[in-house]
Amino acid sequence: MKHSNRKYRIKSKFRFVTFLVIVIGLSMGIFGYITGFDISTALTKPSDEIIIEVAAGETLWNIADRYKSENTDIREAVYLISRVNDISDGYIQEGMMISIPECL
């Protein structure tokens, strides 16, 4: 049985580097997705938060307006509250417990 001593030569360094970047990026993305490292914890687990119970007739906009600082845009406050509480449709109901991040 003969062993080939064939040597490989890179014809285009640009194509080779592009291939490596794509393979490494995909590998990191797949690894992050499988292990859960792709999930940001900065907004999902705030260190200092206020927890409130939603009263009848309250909306995210009312709550955001009540707890946001003067220099925070209300749209940003609604977005942050929705993101922290995993509220994708903007729907809240009476009795829900909502975390208000201190960064508002």
Residue 51 to residues 1, 33, 91: CA-CA distances in angstroms? 73, 30, 17
Give me the chain's average pLDDT, please. 86
Per-domain residue ranges of the chain: 49-101
Tell me what percent of the residues of the chain surpass a pLDDT of 90: 59
Considering the domain delimited by 49-101, tell me its CATH architecture.
Answer: Roll (3.10)
Give the chain's length: 104
Full-model pTM:
0.53
Which of 51, 57, 59, 58 has the alpha carbon at shortest distance from 89?
59
What is the tens place of the pLDDT at every residue in 12-44? 999 999 999 999 999 998 888 888 765 655 555
- Dist CA 104 CA 92 (whole Å): 19
